[in-house]
Amino acid sequence: MKKLILSIITLTFLACQGQSVVVNPHELTDNDLTTTYTGTKDLNQIVFDTDFSAPVLSYKIYSSGELPAYDPSQWTLKGSNDGKEWVTVDERSNQTFFSRFQEILCVVQNPQTFKTYKLEASTLSKDTLKIGEVVLSDKNLLAGWEDFNYPNIQFESLSPDTEGSKVYHELVQNPDEYIKFHARKVAEILYYTDKDSINDVRNIKYTLEDKPGVSAKGGNTPNIHIFYSTQHIEKSAKESLFKLDFETRGVLYHELTHGYQYEPKGIGNYGNNKTFWACIEGIADAVRAEAGYFDMSTRKPGGNWMDGYRTTGFFIQWLTTKDPDAIRKFHATVEKMDVWSFDGAIKLVFGPEASIEGMWEEYQTFLKNQ
Ligand SMILES: [Zn+2]
């Protein structure tokens, strides 16, 4: 009831001023980037009226899947306790989204406790506005990662005339920034903060190429090369641009993990040791799963932790249900152990009583009951 009254006060007040306003538009809060809020005014006022009890410390605004011209380019976040007096807590101008379905994360400049927040946003030309999602957080979502050392990106489309290359650019307007963003996100999943001894990826050469396959990483940290197939892009884009984005980000999480992860010691190499291979590919898919870029309904009982890729990756990601830092801790065992093994890693993370067989069995029981 309280919320409703506040909304009515807010609406009435703004209507008196001859301005238009929307309250809690579901397209912006439904955790679905394919539903889009459309505003038509010079200045769109969007009220988030959910009775906040702690100050908003950071927020994310997501571009939609529509053309970049519809993206917000300037906005102000304001707070209020009575729906009448609004105080600016954050202000941004000249903002550019580097891809479709992309967040811009803002750390609030002037945080204060308010019951209600309002976003005032407009496009560069003060025309139709489209936004995918808005997330207001009472945490600073950039905390610990302000000084991340971004890699240098050398992007090149080697097959610019292919349909795949063209649709890639419909999705991604600024490939360098798109890749850099995911580099930090991968590091956030593998490490605790930017002060950790992060495997130093300095230069990433990223190429779109007209050849079969999906994507692959070559070279060795600090200089790596990632290829992404324009044929695979075309296939993924058939369903929707969102589906292509989901796939492109997912593949990028996997390949970038190969740049940022440490390699197991004392057991040979990727080409001649299956445990080494399963560890490397398992962690890469665990990071992708943790980032949210797998359809988790494809998880099925069966297989073995030595199967690599998503069979191993889903298992490692599932360990976060026992310990939220399980992926970071599991990855850290790769650095710590002189002779790496799955069983040794599980014991290091969960204690000497734990074993890979026991943990896998428990995971299988979870899968059967899901
Ligand atoms: Zn891989």
- The alpha carbon of 247 and the centre of ligand 1 are apart by a number of angstroms equal to 14
User: How long a stretch of residues is the chain?
Assistant: 370
**Residue 139 and residue 370: Cα distance in Å, rounded?**
31
- Listed residue (237, 238, 257) closest to 312, CA to CA: 257
Q: What are the start and end residues of each CATH 3.40.390 domain in the chain?
A: 147-260
**Rounded to two decimals, what is the model's pTM?**
0.93
- Enumerate the β-bridge partners of residue 78: 88, 118
- The alpha carbon of 249 and the centre of ligand 1 are apart by a number of angstroms equal to 14
Q: What are the start and end residues of each CATH 2.60.120.260 domain in the chain?
A: 2-137
Instruction: Return the SS3 of 338.
Output: coil
Q: Give the CA distances from residue 38 to residues 15, 24, 52, in Å, rounded to whole numbers and listed in that order.
A: 19, 13, 25
The CATH class for the domain spanning 147-260 reads: alpha beta
Who contacts 341 (Cβ-Cβ below 8 Å, separation ≥6)?
Answer: 267, 275
The CATH class for the domain spanning 2-137 reads: mainly beta
- The alpha carbon of 309 and the centre of ligand 1 are apart by a number of angstroms equal to 7
- The alpha carbon of 180 and the centre of ligand 1 are apart by a number of angstroms equal to 19
Find the angle CA(339)-CA(348)-CA(188) to the nearest 5 degrees. 95
Helix (H) or strand (E) holding 64: none
- The alpha carbon of 252 and the centre of ligand 1 are apart by a number of angstroms equal to 10
- The alpha carbon of 285 and the centre of ligand 1 are apart by a number of angstroms equal to 8
Q: What is the pLDDT along the chain (370 residues), one digit of tens a residue?
A: 444 444 444 444 444 343 568 999 999 999 999 999 999 878 899 999 988 899 999 999 999 999 999 999 999 999 999 999 999 999 999 999 999 999 999 999 999 999 999 999 999 999 999 999 999 999 999 999 999 999 999 999 999 999 999 999 999 999 999 999 999 999 999 999 999 999 999 999 999 999 999 999 999 999 999 999 999 999 999 999 999 999 999 999 999 999 999 999 999 999 999 999 999 999 999 999 999 999 999 999 999 999 999 999 999 999 999 999 999 999 999 999 999 999 999 999 999 999 999 999 999 999 999 8
